[in-house]
Amino acid sequence: MIDRDDFVPDEEWERFREISKDFPTPNIFVNLDVIEEEYKHLMKTFPYGNVYFAVKANPGIPVIRLLKELGSNFDIASRYELDDVLAQGISPDRISYGNTIKKADDVEYFYKKGIRMFVTDSKDDLKNIADRAPGSKVFVRILIENSSTADWPLSRKFGCHPDMAYNLLVMAKERGLEPYGISFHVGSQQRDIGQWDDAISKTKYLFESLEEEEDIKLQMINMGGGFPARYIQPCNDLSDYASEITRYLHDDFDEIPRIVFEPGRSLVGNAGILTSEVVLISRKNNTSLSRWVYLDCGLFNGLTETLGEAIKYPVLTDKDGGKCGEVILAGPTCDSADIMYENTKYKLPIDLKSGDKVYWLTTGAYTSTYASVKFNGFPPIKTYYYNKKAIYDVDGNVVKSLAS
């Protein structure tokens, strides 16, 4: 159904097969070398950009350690993520608190740990920041309506209208905070590069009006995430995103402010392969053309982003190449919502049977921790990380040395 080589080169595939073959399924193997390549590629395409990795996309300790070494900063959403990142010896000035939804106590917790950069999009939250994190830098997230061209939209819930952003930044100054910049997120896996144009124009208006009318000189644009990973639906290359976005910035700004990116999906997505096993194959009646294929992974165990069939992962088996037929792909739990693809017509080999492996490519982002803890008793999916030297568990312990 798909050409594997478009997603994972032969050599890398063979290596993955060799490394992962003895591990029970379901599991995810994340290739740290791919993350390193993606990071370097991003820095090369946006030489002026500052990267704050969106930790939620893959919070494994090996990922955090690698990105620390590569010089990345970190965008954090909760005190638990913060503890994990600080425990790796990352200094607080490389961390921002990027969740607009937070308790006052959490604000104080971050402040006490040395974090001085906070996002906001509401008055109450801003007041909490002024009270509990005095003098900190704040940036305001503006609302972007983008639901149709992003495969995993992050609109509606986050951000405020630019007029309100204006008021919040004025209020920040009045309350002794440092009004620092504007952020937005155009939606994850955003296929329409033009969405950045609109967001940058709104940002420019805020930069100008705040300087002219309030003598507030903002310094940063935080463009959030949105860059793509390689799923079934084709996307432009990162270099196309870079050339367009750079052009929008030059069109709107004489002097480009500090630019921050918060990539999640695009940094870690391509690095992961989820291996599952067929539990059962059945037909619902004697003449039905499509088979139900039940796997040991599912919507509650690693594949949450198939909700609404939003993210369409490339799927492979060891029997690809022969005759294929339509399937409905579902998970192992006793919940009828646990169906990955029914309307999207996936085709798998006719001779597929229980016990066979099914591989899900591009599963390095929003999979490993995006799982239920014990629904129907199933444990969360196990994730392993590897590079040339070793296989590591999620806490960074060596599971197996690969050095020969």
Ligand X SMILES: *Cc1c(COP(=O)(O)O)cnc(C)c1O
Applying CB under 6 A, the residues found at the interface with ligand X are 54, 56-57, 75, 98, 185, 188, 224-227, 262-266
Token pair for residue 233? Answer: 């639906």
Residue closer to ligand X, measured from CB, 7 or 184: 184
Q: Is the bond into 26 cis (omega within 30 degrees of 0)?
A: yes
Residue closer to ligand X, measured from CB, 305 or 338: 305
What are the residues whose beta carbons fall under 8 Å from the beta carbon of 232, sequence distance 6 or more? 2, 312, 313, 314
Q: How far is the CB of 279 from ligand X (least distance, A)?
A: 30
What are the residues whose beta carbons fall under 8 Å from the beta carbon of 24, sequence distance 6 or more? 382
Token pair for residue 10? Answer: 């032969």
Q: How far is the CB of 176 from ligand X (least distance, A)?
A: 25
Residue closer to ligand X, measured from CB, 225 or 380: 225
Contact (Cβ atoms closer than 8 angstroms) between residue 98 and residue 52: yes
Q: How far is the CB of 128 from ligand X (least distance, A)?
A: 18
Q: How far is the CB of 155 from ligand X (least distance, A)?
A: 12
The whole-angstrom separation of Cα 358 and Cα 331 is 12
Going by the DSSP 8-state scheme, the letter that residue 380 receives in this structure is P
Residue closer to ligand X, measured from CB, 188 or 333: 188
The whole-angstrom separation of Cα 391 and Cα 254 is 48
Q: Which of 236, 229, 164 is CA-nearest to residue 195?
A: 236
Token pair for residue 373? Answer: 């803890």
Residue closer to ligand X, measured from CB, 57 or 293: 57
What are the residues whose beta carbons fall under 8 Å from the beta carbon of 9, sequence distance 6 or more? none
Strands 382-386 and 357-361 come out as unpaired
Q: How far is the CB of 80 from ligand X (least distance, A)?
A: 15
Residue closer to ligand X, measured from CB, 264 or 331: 264
The whole-angstrom separation of Cα 131 and Cα 176 is 10
Q: How far is the CB of 339 from ligand X (least distance, A)?
A: 24
Residue closer to ligand X, measured from CB, 77 or 358: 77
In the bound state, the residue with its beta carbon closest to ligand X is: 225
Q: How far is the CB of 185 from ligand X (least distance, A)?
A: 5
